[in-house]
Amino acid sequence: MRVVDWGDAVSGRAAMPERSAATIGVFDGLHLGHRALVERVVAKAPRLAPVVVTFRDNPKRVTRPHRFSGCLFTLEQKLSALEDAGAEVCVLIDFSGNFSKLAGSEFVSALGSIGVRSFVIGSDFKCGHRLSTDAEGLKAVAASFGADTEIVGPITLDGEPVSSSRIRSAIANGRTDLALAMLGRPYTLDLRRLEIEYERGSAAFSLKGSGLVEPAPGRYEATEICVAGSGAVEATLRRDGTVLWARTALCADREPAFLAFGSRIA
């Protein structure tokens, strides 16, 4: 997958597909609802190149910093998941002061100018300054330059839409089983940028200040993942945000890359 900066794409400094299908969103966690959108875009290939337009960081860090509880993915995890899902190009947006003031119609028209001829968006989609352009508004703008729009309804679980905010809430309440059902995989912490301390076959790191969602304090079934493979472990998350777990024999001499949370034990 080729990763292109938004500014480079719209200025012509980076080559974009001549004709493409695109989905737009934050895609934090790339949950089942997100994957349904990406799958529809990928299904349009090879007639249209599958493109994902997303953000380098979650815009809520800027717009609602005191209410934002953290990310489900690091940027590296998101890009890897999008590539695995079949995206050929990912356009990354920095949610700067200038971009946040861009009208929704201007944003959609800019995508048209770089070759987007088909949009796939969720029914709750909103974009632009003050989120003034909704799904139907995007559809109208897209039609003005000959692009079609597919509006997709939400994926539901237990009668409620699957969403990143709902997943964050589940994890924060220790419901990693519910998070798994909505993500389609365990909630997995990217350890590659965290400082890990080792002592007597155990490892520990702090989630404080990491920007990642903290599971509720308690003991969890978990999986340690490293270059050599993966091994089942038990992880304890303390109230101070420290995660402690026993190293597996398989990964004892290697740096772990990820820690995947299974069910909460206590």
Per-residue pLDDT tens digits for 195-253 = 999 988 899 999 998 999 999 999 999 999 998 899 999 999 999 999 999 988 888 88
* Confidence (pLDDT) at 131: 87
Q: Is the pLDDT of residue 97 over 80?
A: no
Residue 27: predicted pLDDT: 97
What is the distance between the alpha carbons of residues 212 and 210, in angstroms, rounded to a whole number?
A: 5
Mean pLDDT of 126-148: 95
Residues 203 and 247: their CA atoms lie apart, in Å, by 7
CA distance 191 to 133: 37
pLDDT digits (tens, 9 = 90+) for 27-68: 999 999 999 999 999 999 999 999 999 999 988 887 777 778
Average confidence score pLDDT of the chain: 94
pLDDT over 80 at 122, yes or no:
yes
Residue 254 clears pLDDT 90, i.e. is over it: no
Write down the pLDDT at residue 62. 74
Q: How confident is the model at residue 99 (pLDDT cuts 50, 70, 90)?
A: confident
Mean pLDDT score, 99-121: 95
What is the C-alpha to C-alpha distance for residues 263 and 207, in angstroms, rounded to an integer? 19
Q: What is the pLDDT of residue 249?
A: 87
Angle between helices 135-144 and 104-113 (to 10 degrees): 40
Contact 120, 34 (CB under 8 A): no
Helix axes 176-183, 164-172, angle to 10 degrees: 160
Give the predicted TM-score (pTM) of the model. 0.94
Model pLDDT, residue 66: 78
Render the burial of 27-65: b for 16+ CB within 10 Å, e for the rest. bbbbbbbbbbbbebbbebeeebbbbbbbbebbebeeeee
Percent of the chain with pLDDT over 70: 100
Is-contact 4 91, C-beta < 8 A? yes
**Tens digits of per-residue pLDDT, 144-165?**
999 999 999 999 999 999 999 9
Residue 105: pLDDT above 90?
A: yes
pLDDT at 63: 77
**What 3-state DSSP class applies to 94?**
coil
Please, which pLDDT band fits residue 266 given cuts at 50, 70 and 90? confident
Lowest mean pLDDT among 21-25, 61-65, 104-108: 61-65
Beta bridge partners of 5: 92
pLDDT given for residue 56 in this prediction: 93
Question: How much of the chain exceeds pLDDT 90, in percent?
Answer: 83
Question: Distance between CA atoms of 234 and 195, rounded to whole angstroms?
Answer: 19
